Structure 1
Amino acid sequence: MQTTDRTTVTAVLDLLADAWGRGDADAYGAHFTEDATYVTFVGTKYSGRDDIAGSHRVLFGKFLKGTKLAHEVLDVRFLGADVAVVTSRGDTYTGAAPKKLSKVQTYTLVRDGGRWLVAAFQNTQRKPLLERVSFAFAPETKPKQ
């Protein structure tokens, strides 16, 4: 893995956060492939750049108006020269950035004409209490890292 590839791939998350913070659905959608898959933490699935941008246009005007996007990259794996999987923690917020990010996210990015774009996104709301209960009754299920 080239350090520059990792930097370029993770910079896409910064660009997404910047577009989100400006409430710019078109700029946000521009970082996805034409046929991208986008799954929200409530389980809603959007298909394609236009669907992603269109839904965010409404969300930025209503439920997510004035919010910002925080993220922390946990892992980057390259599955070839033109495919990367990024695992992160993330959250939306207003005011000060949260100290603990409540969602775990997976991005699959592809290099398209020299530019990295998100081909698939999965967002999962963490349930720390349920995790603790599961680990208490089945400690062998606790992740090693």
Structure 2
Amino acid sequence: MTGTTTSPDLAAVTAVLRRSQDAWNAGDGAAYGACFTDDATDVTFAGTVYQGGAEIGRAHQALFDSFLKGTRLTIEIVDFRQYGDTAVVVTRGEVAKGTPKKLGKLATYTLVRQAGGQWRIAAVQKTKHKPLMEAVSFAFQPATRPA
């Protein structure tokens, strides 16, 4: 994961995302699920919705033991915004065996600071970036291009 930390909260949030990445890379579903709140929501790239850290960990362990065996998660923080005890983080990333050629997926994380000051992931939504579709949209409707 890349990104610089400039505040204690950004550093703590980055550490949670790094722990989730390390758990993924180790194929450790329990450690991955522990990065989430007990009532977290994980909307996967495939559109599956998991509820709660325990279910997220259990389901990901099954994935790590099969379809995602030996994969590595790469995450780069694109945007960080904090609202009191809540942080919204947009990342660019990829799951691949080895080093990815590009970071073609985006994820929006909502993290919360819980009692005792520990940050955990409360929600994540993952989306594949579709540059061709985006370019067509911008060409036919330039007002859709972000600032």
TM-score (norm 2): 0.93
2:75, 2:108 → 1: CA distance? 12
SS at match of 1:134: helix
2:16, 2:146 → 1: CA distance? 27
After superposition, what is the alpha-carbon deviation per residue over 1:84-133, rounded to whole angstroms, capped at 9, x for unaligned?
000111110112x2242111100000011211000001001111110011
| Structure 1 vs Structure 2 CA RMSD | 1.0
SS at match of 1:91: strand
1:22, 1:36 → 2: CA distance? 22
Is contact 2:34–2:54 with CA below 8 Å preserved after alignment? no
Q: Which residue of structure 1 lines up, in the alignment, with residue 27 of structure 2?
A: 23
2:145, 2:92 → 1: CA distance? 18
Tell me which moved more, 5-14 or 67-76: 5-14
**Correspondence for 1:104 among 103, 106, 119:** 106
Q: Which residue of structure 1 lines up, in the alignment, with residue 135 of structure 2?
A: 132
Paired letter, 2:112:
V
2:10, 2:28 → 1: CA distance? 25
Q: How many residues align?
A: 141
SS at match of 1:13: helix
Gaps of 5+ in 1: none
TM-score (norm 1): 0.94
**Correspondence for 1:141 among 125, 132, 144:** 144
Paired letter, 1:132:
A
1:114, 1:70 → 2: CA distance? 26
Dislocated runs of 4+, deviation >4 Å: none
Please state how far the C-alpha of 1:42 moved relative to its aligned partner.
1.4
Gaps of 5+ in 2: 1-5
Paired letter, 1:42:
A
SS at match of 1:135: helix
Percent identity, aligned pairs only?
55
Please state how far the C-alpha of 1:22 moved relative to its aligned partner.
0.4
**Correspondence for 1:55 among 39, 53, 59:** 59
Paired letter, 1:87:
V
